[in-house]
Structure 1
């Protein structure tokens, strides 16, 4: 929701000497989650009505 209702620079969080913009943090987290799911995800072709291809040796 931060991505929809915020602009860069509006919502800063300071942790010690580090100042973090929550807009970019939320954008990076969403991108990381999408990338992780696409790389690590597995599916069963039969669930989608697809036939498994037999590999030729």
Structure 2
């Protein structure tokens, strides 16, 4: 894979993770649940994002 393509994909994943974290923070979940979800997204950037998308807490 070309370096520019992989860098672009990495940037997209970073943006999506930041978006997910902001949505987690704005959700009505408890602080403990928010912390767990944020850790999942940070430690497993792609898989955590997919898990959050399908099963995570939603915004306000």
**TM-score bucket (shorter structure):** 0.3 to 0.5
Q: Which structure ranks higher in relative contact order (CA pairs < 8 Å, sequence separation ≥ 6)? A: 2
Q: Which has the larger radius of gyration?
A: 1
Query: Which structure features the higher share of helix residues?
Result: 2
Give the TM-score, by structure 1 length: 0.40
Give the TM-score, by structure 2 length: 0.38
